[in-house]
Structure 1
Amino acid sequence: MKKLLILIVTLFVAQISLAQSPMSVVNKTAVIPFENVENQPIFPGGNNEFIKFVGKNFRVPEVEDLRGVLKVTFVIETNGSISDVKVVNDLGHGTAEEIKRVLSLSPKWTAGDHEGKPARVLFTLPITIRN
């Protein structure tokens, strides 16, 4: 009985250790939330300049009583470019297409890094619209 228990435990430990992906593979493609990355990506001029950039370029649709929060996520790549833009909360009337257009105009960011290596960073941007 004791030998059977030791065999089962050994097989269980071996299965767990062999099933894990090497960290080097995971780190190259993993996306880290903005709040969790050690050194966050920086828009040229800082966060205030990013807010100004979006405000200057985003055209609010001329729809009466359009109100709400447009929420978008995107990845800041290791080269500072923006990719994987996803609208989480669309207000309709072309707001999703407009924020995608604005983000496509963005200059490259200074990339973030985590544990001394360049990191892909997930950024969430809420935009309050009151028309």
Structure 2
Amino acid sequence: MAASHFAFIYLLLLLPFSALKAQTFASVPDTAVADVIPEYPGGVQEFFKYISKKFKTPASAGKSLYQGSVLVTMIVDQDGRVIVDSLNYGRMAFYSKKADEALKIKAHNEVDTEIRRMFSSMPNWRPGSIDGRPIRVKYTMPLRISFQ
């Protein structure tokens, strides 16, 4: 990536945790709300630090100025493992007039791979629970990628 490009990635919104939706665990309904929500080791600030430190911007994204917000839907499983459920790129765009179709495809694929790698290599969270039983909890959060 050119030295003039500086990748900046951050989460636009991690909260509200109180609005989390728990996924099915045994007989727990999909609409249940966790009594105890999952927590990243060290809390929210450590989660932000992890994202900032671990996301490696692909050179193709810098060259094509592929930036905007990716909606990341992840599940914190009963054992605290993080699973990427889906990525929505509806708010991402290419801002380089020199980016051809091949570069755009490469940038999109590499950003997708990097987000999935970063979340799947994340340390286990403390899982959410209902009545003391661990449950799966789904989060959706925007992840902002920009070049300054």
TM-score (ref. length: structure 1): 0.68
The structure richer in helix per residue is 1
Partner of 2:111: 95
* Gapped regions of structure 1 (runs ≥ 5): 1-22
- Does the CA contact (< 8 Å) of 2:84 and 2:119 recur in 1? no
In 1: Cα distance, 2:123 partner to 2:114 partner: 17
Shift of 1:54: 1.1
1:86–1:31 CA distance, 2 compared to 1 (3 A) = farther
List aligned pairs for 1:15-54, cutoff 5 A: 25-27=26-28, 36-54=33-51
Q: Which has the higher contact order (CA 8 A, sep 6+)?
A: 2
Aligned-residue sequence identity (percent) comes to: 27
Residue 86 (structure 1) aligned with residue 52 (structure 2): no
Mark the runs of 5 or more structure 2 residues left unpaired by the alignment. 1-23, 93-107
* Partner Cα separation in structure 2 for residue 44 and residue 65 of structure 1: 33
Q: Distance in 2 between matches of 1:106 and 1:31?
A: 25
The 3 A distance-change label for structure 1 pair 94 and 32 is farther
**RMSD of Structure 2 on Structure 1 (CA):** 2.5
1:65 CA displacement: 3.1
TM-score by length of 2: 0.61
What count of residue pairs does the alignment treat as equivalent? 105
- The alignment status of 1:63 with 2:79, answered yes or no, reads no
CA deviations 1:88-128 (Å, max 9, x no partner) are 22642522111100011101110111233211000123111
Contact 1:32/1:122 (8 A) holds in 2: no
Tell me which structure has the larger Cα radius of gyration. Answer: 1
Once the two structures are overlaid, the 10-residue window that deviates more, 60-69 or 44-53, is: 60-69
